[in-house]
């Protein structure tokens, strides 16, 4: 019924294809139903499963498949950091950062009290050049970070700070982040995600969230690296952008400290970034690919690209 294999020696992801001539969306749904336990076990064992070679081409087909496959409601991304475009029925675009930027490995919404268990990426348009989605084993990442660093992060935890301007139309405004212009709705959602909030006189919003640096998977019992201290910290910005904020007296859009408010040493963050880079596995997209990730077991990122690239994302 299906054939499985790996694209690389790291065995991430497990690839699943139909071993018959029928590659239709209907056939994919039949396989998913018949092999439900196989997929569940494979995600726990490997952390990522790639469905390849099927004739899925539209957002509507993708949404219908994920709803049937997962059997749960989609995760609402409102309040998240990354700029995204809502497409249809809980499906978003992948992160809308400029194409020349690389996104380091991270676990989705690890800075929030609530985060999705599974991510479903769907390739509508394969990148013309570059644009691989990168993958990394969150347990291996934890294992390869200096134990003293891990101990410090676990003891102090991580505080994430965000400054969201009051600028309708901006991808980085609080209106865009929370998908509303109603302040009461924003405040209620901040409480749900465990964020302290403060409205500034100019209408901008400052929120802070303090979270553990690691997490334990509820089914496998594995402890994993589960934070975005390196991505939030201003040292992640290029020198020119960082200097612009300083010269203009502007607060950084994103920042991170230890949970007690003390600074995180840049040298420590650089060591973490080296581990993340060493654990990065690029996944090159083909049209119709569906990549399913266990959000705790597998971190993801993005390589720079040029030309067209359109990847959709559903979260559960």
The yes-or-no verdict on residue 315 having pLDDT over 80 is yes
* CATH T-level assignment (fold) for domain 2-137+282-315: Double-stranded beta-helix (3.60.130)
User: What is the mean pLDDT of the segment spanning 239-253?
Assistant: 86
Identical fold, 2-137+282-315 and 140-275: yes
Q: How confident is the model at residue 246 (pLDDT cuts 50, 70, 90)?
A: confident
Please give the share of the chain, as a percent, with pLDDT higher than 90: 88
Three-state SS at 310: strand
**CB 51, CB 292: distance < 8 Å:** yes
pLDDT in tens, 178-216: 999 999 999 999 999 999 999 999 999 999 999 999 999
What pLDDT is attached to residue 164?
97
**CB 216, CB 229: distance < 8 Å:** no
**CB 111, CB 211: distance < 8 Å:** yes
Q: How far is the C-alpha of 147 from the C-alpha of 128, rounded, in Å?
A: 40
pTM, two decimals, is: 0.95
Among 105-119, 196-210, 243-257, the least confident range: 243-257
Domain 140-275 = CATH 3.60.130.10:
yes
Read off φ and ψ for residue 51, nearest 5 degrees. -95, 115
**CB 187, CB 196: distance < 8 Å:** no
Q: How far is the C-alpha of 42 from the C-alpha of 2, rounded, in Å?
A: 13
Q: How confident is the model at residue 96 (pLDDT cuts 50, 70, 90)?
A: confident
Read off φ and ψ for residue 139, nearest 5 degrees. -70, -40
Please tell me which residue, 240 or 42, carries the higher pLDDT value.
42
What pLDDT is attached to residue 169?
85
Average pLDDT over the chain reads 95
Q: How far is the C-alpha of 272 from the C-alpha of 232, rounded, in Å?
A: 13
Q: How far is the C-alpha of 51 from the C-alpha of 18, rounded, in Å?
A: 9
Q: How far is the C-alpha of 32 from the C-alpha of 172, rounded, in Å?
A: 38
What pLDDT is attached to residue 175?
96
The yes-or-no verdict on residue 273 having pLDDT over 80 is yes
What pLDDT is attached to residue 151?
98
What pLDDT is attached to residue 24?
93
Question: How would you label 285-308 residue by residue, b for 16+ Cβ within 10 Å and e otherwise?
Answer: beebbbbbbbbbbbbbbbbbbeee
Q: How far is the C-alpha of 32 from the C-alpha of 38, rounded, in Å?
A: 9
Q: How far is the C-alpha of 216 from the C-alpha of 213, rounded, in Å?
A: 11
What pLDDT is attached to residue 250?
82
Report long-range pairs for 112-116 (Cβ below 8 Å, ≥24 apart): 112/79, 112/80, 112/193, 112/194, 112/195, 112/209, 112/211, 113/192, 113/193, 113/194, 113/209, 113/211, 114/192, 114/193, 114/194, 115/295, 116/75, 116/295, 116/315, 116/316
User: What is the mean pLDDT of the segment spanning 246-266?
Assistant: 93
**CB 159, CB 257: distance < 8 Å:** yes
The yes-or-no verdict on residue 83 having pLDDT over 90 is no
User: What is the mean pLDDT of the segment spanning 101-106?
Assistant: 96
Q: How confident is the model at residue 30 (pLDDT cuts 50, 70, 90)?
A: very high
Which residue shows structure tokens 């949404």?
63
Q: How far is the C-alpha of 132 from the C-alpha of 281, rounded, in Å?
A: 9
How do the domains of the chain map onto residue ranges? 2-137+282-315, 140-275
Of 211, 251, 253, which Cα lies nearest the Cα of 236?
253
C-alpha angle 13-15-18 in degrees, rounded to nearest 5:
165
């Amino acid at each position: 019924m299906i054939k499985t294999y790996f694209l690389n020696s790291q065995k991430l992801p497990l690839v699943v294809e139909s071993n018959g001539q029928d590659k239709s969306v209907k056939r994919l749904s039949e396989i998913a139903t018949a092999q439900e336990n196989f997929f569940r076990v494979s995600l726990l064992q490997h952390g990522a499963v790639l469905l390849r070679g099927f004739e899925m081409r539209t957002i509507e087909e993708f949404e219908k498949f994920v709803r049937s496959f997962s059997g749960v409601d989609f995760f609402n991304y409102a309040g998240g950091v990354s700029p995204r475009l809502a497409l249809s029925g809980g499906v978003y675009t992948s992160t809308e950062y400029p194409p020349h930027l690389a996104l380091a490995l991270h676990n989705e919404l690890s800075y929030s009290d609530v985060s999705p268990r599974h991510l479903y990426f769907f390739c509508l348009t394969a990148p013309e050049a570059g644009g691989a989605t990168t993958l990394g084993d969150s347990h291996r990442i934890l294992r390869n970070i200096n134990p003293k660093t891990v101990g410090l992060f676990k003891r102090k935890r991580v505080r994430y700070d965000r400054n969201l301007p009051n600028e309708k139309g901006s991808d980085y405004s609080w209106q865009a982040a929370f998908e509303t212009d109603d302040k009461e709705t924003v405040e209620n959602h901040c409480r749900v995600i465990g964020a302290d909030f403060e409205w500034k006189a100019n209408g901008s919003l400052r929120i802070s969230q303090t979270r553990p640096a690691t997490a334990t998977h509820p089914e496998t019992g594995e402890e994993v690296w589960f934070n975005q201290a390196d991505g939030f910290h201003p040292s992640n910005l290029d020198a020119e952008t960082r200097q612009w904020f300083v010269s203009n007296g502007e607060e950084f859009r994103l920042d991170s400290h230890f949970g007690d408010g003390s600074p995180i040493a840049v040298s420590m963050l650089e060591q973490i970034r080296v581990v993340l880079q060493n654990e990065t596995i690029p996944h090159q997209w083909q049209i119709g690919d569906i990549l399913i990730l266990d959000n705790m077991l597998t971190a993801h990122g993005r390589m720079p690209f040029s030309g067209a690239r359109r990847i959709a994302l559903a979260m559960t």
